[in-house]
Amino acid sequence: MIEYYSTNLNAPRTDLAGALLQGQASDKGLYMPSEVPAFAPDFLKRARDMAFPAMAAEILGAYAQGVFTPAQLAEICEDAYNFPVPLEKVQDKRFVMRLDQGPTASFKDFAARFMGRALGRLVQSKGSELLILTATSGDTGSAVAHAFLGVPGIRVLVLFPTGEVSDRQRKQMTTLGNNVAAISVDGKFDDCQALVKRAFADPDLKGLNLSSANSINIGRLLPQSVYYVYAASRLADIAAGEKVVFSVPSGNFGDLMGGVLSYRSGLPVARFVAATNANDEVPRFLATGTYQKIEPSRECISNAMNVGHPSNLARLVALYGGRMDETGHIHQAPDMEALRRDFFSVSISDEETKATLARVYRETQVMLEPHGSVGWAGLERLNEVDPSSRAYTSIVLETAHPAKFPAEVKACINVEPPLPPSLEGLEDKPEVCGRMDASYEAFKAHLQKEYR
Ligand SMILES: *Cc1c(COP(=O)(O)O)cnc(C)c1O
């Protein structure tokens, strides 16, 4: 059975259930599997013919031994992954994988939907109840809210900063009802985050069984390893060892970590492009060996990647033999040579992001949005710096639907992105939403009154 250890090495090991329910380890470290399970010997041969949910159940099954049976995982994954994963050819050997067909039109649906169902089962088998608190600046809150909608035994409360989410993002959180509530906080994202963190640490609220579904939770990471295998199995002869290149637009580096896990399990990957916006702390780290977080983070049009200190970096460092604590301090250096071999990390400016989005549309009619455009520009940069990389089948992860960023996309190509079915009809749904200022006392009183 795979155990989960804390990257700070100062908390007891646990199984997947413990890691999912706790989120963060007691020593403030992140849970990591004690070993990355190798794919079954014939798995890469079978992969090409496997449907996405079956592939997910097999890959996640190795991480969930002793916690979920294969039959339970098959049910969870059939239910969670009921939408397509389009692979779109853009140019010879270059593809876009669209991870935007879930209910909230970003790749965050993949992990959130697994986690909602997995936590729901754990809570039910224990007969307990859980209140999930989530602070969000947009995409996470809507993905988590949709994923936990209607799950028995779990209630969700999402906090978002009043003026700082788009109408579309807000409506994805305020029109659900049922076990999902939303509060608009007159403050910044950081204020929402501070309220949630204080509530977790407040002994008076212990009885509420608070939990979190933020990107620190290992449940928000493992499911993101599946679509790498899916794409490679469809586009390359991975059973014969043919290697592929992935380009991943990155902020907290959870998406990329998913790919790295599959690589460690045996997926033939030539290289990962870790593409960031102007928040370039990771490209600099790889170039110089010195890590320096960016505070405050820089505002870019690929706003879901405005992260100055990625929470998953400690996990990447751990996989490469080093140790980094939650503040970003490196206690033991990772194998920098291996990191530089496996990752090409590059920072893409807003200007280049817009120019790439416009050029790709003009030349190929493929519509990207700002995050995917950062990924595409990153791949182009790799191909320039290392022309031999052009020989590989290359896959850029498009992490959101263009209609989530209509103004930015229209400014580049002068075309309004068409709405996917998941975002249609939002305008007409009634909203229910609380509102408060960023006072902890008021927030605490609300929790004690509404969730006793
Ligand atoms: C969250 C998000 C990202 C960044 O993913 P990480 O796992 O944090 O690196 C990229 N694009 C979109 C659209 C997102 O919502």
Domains in the chain, ordered, with CATH?
84-105+220-420 (3.40.50.1100)
Q: Is the CB of 108 inside a 6 Å radius of any atom of ligand 1?
A: yes
Judge if the upstream peptide bond of residue 296 is cis by omega within 30 degrees of 0: yes
Q: Counting atoms of ligand 1 from 1, which one is nearest the CA of 400?
A: 13
Q: Is the CB of 300 inside a 6 Å radius of any atom of ligand 1?
A: no
Interatomic CA distance for residues 139 and 126, integer angstroms: 30
Ligand 1 centroid to 251 CA: how many Å?
6
323 HSE (CA, 13 A, CB side): 9
Q: Can you say how many angstroms the Cα of residue 18 is from the centroid of all Cα atoms in its chain? A: 20
Q: Write the pLDDT tens digit of every residue in 319-341.
A: 999 999 988 999 999 999 999 99
Q: Is the CB of 251 inside a 6 Å radius of any atom of ligand 1?
A: yes
- Residues 336 and 289 sit within 8 Å (Cβ to Cβ): yes
Q: Is the dihedral of CA 400, 402, 404, 408 positive or negative?
A: positive
Residue type, 418: P
The residue whose C-alpha atom lies closest to atom 14 belonging to ligand 1 is 304
What DSSP assignment string belongs to 255-286? HHHHHHHHHHHT--EEEEEEEESS--HHHHHH
Q: To test the ligand 1 pocket, which listed residue (100, 345, 371, 408) has its Cβ within 8 A of the most ligand atoms? A: 371
Interatomic CA distance for residues 262 and 205, integer angstroms: 39
- Nearest partner of 301 among 220, 369, 244, judged by Cα: 369
Q: Is the CB of 250 inside a 6 Å radius of any atom of ligand 1?
A: yes
Q: CA-CA distances (angstroms) from residue 258 to 220, 221, 281, 414?
A: 9, 6, 20, 34
Helices within 289-423 (DSSP H only): 313-319, 336-342, 350-364, 370-385, 406-413
Q: Is the CB of 253 inside a 6 Å radius of any atom of ligand 1?
A: yes
Q: Is the CB of 400 inside a 6 Å radius of any atom of ligand 1?
A: yes
Q: Counting atoms of ligand 1 from 1, which one is nearest the CA of 251?
A: 9
Interatomic CA distance for residues 168 and 177, integer angstroms: 16
- Residues 356 and 376 sit within 8 Å (Cβ to Cβ): yes
Average pLDDT for the chain: 94
- Residues 251 and 310 sit within 8 Å (Cβ to Cβ): yes
- Residues 333 and 324 sit within 8 Å (Cβ to Cβ): no
DSSP letter for 42, please: T
Q: Can you say how many angstroms the Cα of residue 153 is from the centroid of all Cα atoms in its chain? A: 24
Interatomic CA distance for residues 171 and 175, integer angstroms: 6
Ligand 1 centroid to 273 CA: how many Å?
14
Q: Is the CB of 375 inside a 6 Å radius of any atom of ligand 1?
A: no
At residue 163, does pLDDT exceed 90? no
Give the pLDDT confidence score for residue 417 in this predicted structure.
Answer: 97
Q: What are the backbone dihedrals phi and psi of residue 74, each rounded to the nearest 5 degrees, phi first? A: -60, -40
Ligand 1 centroid to 252 CA: how many Å?
7
DSSP letter for 352, please: H
The residue whose C-alpha atom lies closest to atom 11 belonging to ligand 1 is 399
Q: Counting atoms of ligand 1 from 1, which one is nearest the CA of 252?
A: 8
Interatomic CA distance for residues 273 and 266, integer angstroms: 18
At residue 164, does pLDDT exceed 80? no
Q: Write the pLDDT tens digit of every residue in 202-261.
A: 999 989 988 888 888 999 999 999 999 999 999 999 999 999 999 999 999 999 999 999
- CB count within 10 Å of CB 415 equals 11
**Helices and strands in the chain: count of H runs, count of E runs:** 17, 15
- Out of 69-78, 289-298, 363-372, least confident range: 289-298
* Dihedral over alpha carbons 415, 420, 425, 431 (to 10 degrees): -100
Residue type, 230: Y
The pTM of this model reads 0.95
Q: Counting atoms of ligand 1 from 1, which one is nearest the CA of 371?
A: 11
- Residues 398 and 383 sit within 8 Å (Cβ to Cβ): no
Q: Write the pLDDT tens digit of every residue in 98-119.
A: 999 999 999 999 999 999 999 9
Q: CA-CA distances (angstroms) from residue 291 to 280, 281, 318, 338?
A: 10, 7, 15, 17
- Residues 181 and 156 sit within 8 Å (Cβ to Cβ): yes
How do beta strands 323-324 and 330-332 pair?
Answer: antiparallel
Mention every residue, 6+ apart, whose C-beta is less than 8 A from residue 24.
30, 212, 216, 217
Distance in Å from the first CA to the final CA of the chain: 37
Ligand 1 centroid to 147 CA: how many Å?
17
Give the pLDDT confidence score for residue 148 in this predicted structure.
Answer: 96
- Nearest partner of 106 among 433, 365, 405, judged by Cα: 405
Give the pLDDT confidence score for residue 26 in this predicted structure.
Answer: 87
Ligand 1 centroid to 168 CA: how many Å?
17
At residue 190, does pLDDT exceed 80? no
Ligand 1 centroid to 63 CA: how many Å?
23
Ligand 1 centroid to 145 CA: how many Å?
17
At residue 401, does pLDDT exceed 80? yes
Give the pLDDT confidence score for residue 425 in this predicted structure.
Answer: 87
The residue whose C-alpha atom lies closest to atom 2 belonging to ligand 1 is 304
- Nearest partner of 98 among 6, 219, 234, 196, judged by Cα: 234
Q: Is the CB of 315 inside a 6 Å radius of any atom of ligand 1?
A: no
